Amino acid sequence: MSAFHFLRTFRQVTGLTPHQYVLRMRLREAATRLATGRERILDIALASGFEDLSNFNHAFRAEFGVSPRIYRKVPTALQRPD
């Protein structure tokens, strides 16, 4: 299977590109760690594969609609990464 065929097929099946899929999974794991742990946001960002806190904040806000700091303050019942 060629790379282009894989990309088209992956997107048809998931609705996302492989990069978007991986990014979403990394952000969901980070959201879980924010909701359940006491780690610093910077440590979670670095452990999630982001090299820069501002990139993590931007991607997190784009995915969840709030910053990681605000997300952590929301009651756990409201935090359900889809």
User: For 49-78, what is each residue's pLDDT tens digit?
Assistant: 999 999 999 999 999 999 999 999 985 545
Range of the domain at 74: 19-78
- Quote the pLDDT of residue 74: 81
| Nearby residues of 49 by Cβ (< 8 Å), 6 or more positions away | 26
64 within a domain of the structure (yes/no): yes
User: For 1-46, what is each residue's pLDDT tens digit?
Assistant: 899 999 999 999 999 999 999 999 999 999 999 999 999 999 999 9
For residue 48, give the CATH number of its domain. 1.10.10.60
DSSP line for 30-82: HHHHHHH----HHHHHHHTT-S-HHHHHHHHHHHHSS-HHHHHHS-GGG----
Q: What's the domain count of the chain?
A: 1
